[in-house]
Amino acid sequence: MKEAEKMNDMDPMDKAGRLPGEFCTAMKDLLGDEYEAFLSSYQEKPKKGLFFNYKKVRQETVEKLVREWGLRPVEWASGGYHYDEERVRPGRSPYHDAGIYYIQEPSAMITVQKADIRPGDLVLDLCAAPGGKSCQAAQKAGILISNEIIKKRARILSSNIERMGFDNVIVCSADPSELAEHFPESFDRIIVDAPCSGEGMFRKDDTAIAEWSLENVDHCVERQREILDAALRMLKPGGRIVYSTCTFEPYENKWQLRRFCAMHEEELELTEFEQLFPHKIEGEGHFYGVMDSKREPEAGREEPLSPSGTEKRIAELSSSMKKAGIHVLRSGIEKGELITGGYKGGKRYEHSHAEAMKAGEPVIKSWAELGSEALALKYLAGESLRLAAYHEEAIRLNASEGEELRVLYDGYPLGIARYSGGMLKNRLPKGLRRNPA
């Protein structure tokens, strides 16, 4: 059994005893009298949280889940809530697949809050996977470009953006320096959730303990400097960079930003920073720093675009990125396909899963409402549903024979089916299907 796997079954205090010695020494020096309280925090279970997707969720549903699940507000993040994993598992609910919330560690929610994103802002999330900060930012931004350099992680990011139903996001996979060549002085807000040594992951991720080393800290510091250089090149005059990590190491955090701002003292000012520790807050720990441009902004700024204006602007940006050789995985709402052939050589349009999941005005007008969580889970496992097998009130239908429709749970979309022969023929992508209970 791998070392990290062995640690999964350890008592939290035993895990504290397995923390890297050099890490413990550094934390003693950093925290002084608070070190014992910090170490004792490893006796506690990891803290859990979620934030709601207000592009999709109804307020009545928020109030229902707050009440039934015992959710408690995250004081530093609007729309964020703590939950007790012993009481509820939000990831198992069909509401999760419907994209009405995103599960995220509570202290990580502070970064986007500090970005102060305004309607109409062009925003870049530079190191975005798996997508928590992008899913917060997309609710506020005019247009968001969400980037992840690692292709496998970029696919996970793209899937999360699709689940949440955002139509104002471009997902790409590029080195930050590549984006900087294409987008000089372009963004009002840039989020840099930098790759780091992951010390804030120790309580919830045993692999982070096993992989920690001083050499990796040094490697992270160098990579962070490169990313910050690229971010500054892309920042509009008058714009803002919010930098964050899930580590406690000052060289990766406040000293990194002080050095960077000193090197660019005519362009940037470090206006705010804070280190969140797990013994002081209900979270795993996070660092954020706010750097504001000292350069005068251009007169005026873009107003929020209409839905059609957003779609057009996204298409323009995506096209220019592709021409520049930037790998674009998703551009707004992915379109379906026009299928030719079949019966009498006709044509039909097959909608995409993204069109079914879109927040706001639906692309697909026909629908089938599943009347119970059990039915929703059957659909999410990939089952086709024969209407006659259930009571009439269990599945309500607004579709004609042969039509594609959105499958809904409590009014929220889960995916697509085709109504044929008294059945809802499942069209949920195989990669999104759950294992049957």
Which residue is catalytic, options 172, 196, 246, 261?
Answer: 246
Can you tell me the distance from the alpha carbon of 373 to that of 379, in angstroms, rounded to the nearest whole number?
10
Q: Which own/partner contact pairs does 68-76 have at CB distance under 8 Å and 24+ positions apart?
A: 74/49, 74/106, 74/109, 74/282, 76/107, 76/109, 76/110, 76/113
Which is nearest to 283 in space by CA: 108, 107, 111? 107
- Judge whether 60 and 117 are in contact, CB under 8 Å: no
Buried b (16+ CB within 10 A) or exposed e, 295-334: eeeeeeeeeebeeeebbebbeebbeebeeeebebbbbbbe
Residue 160 parent element (H or E): helix 151-164
Residue 368: exposure state from Cβ atoms within 10 A (0-12, 13-18, ≥19)? buried
What DSSP designation does 298 have? P
Q: In what order do the strands lie in the sheet with 395-398?
A: 385-386, 423-426, 412-420, 404-409, 367-370, 395-398
Question: 398 CB contacts (<8 Å, ≥6 apart)?
Answer: 366, 367, 368, 405
Residue 146 structure tokens? 């969400």
Question: C-alpha distances in angstroms, 166 versus 171, 179, 266, 299, 433?
Answer: 11, 22, 37, 29, 21
Measure the CA dihedral 72/74/77/81, to 10°. -40
Annotated active-site residue 196? The verdict is no
Q: How does strand 268-276 pair with strand 286-293? A: antiparallel
- Judge whether 290 and 273 are in contact, CB under 8 Å: yes
Can you tell me the distance from the alpha carbon of 351 to that of 51, in angstroms, rounded to the nearest whole number?
29
Radius of gyration of the chain (CA): 23
Question: 232 CB contacts (<8 Å, ≥6 apart)?
Answer: 241, 264, 267, 268
Can you tell me the distance from the alpha carbon of 77 to that of 15, in angstroms, rounded to the nearest whole number?
30
Query: Would you please indicate which residues are annotated as catalytic (active-site) residues?
Result: 246
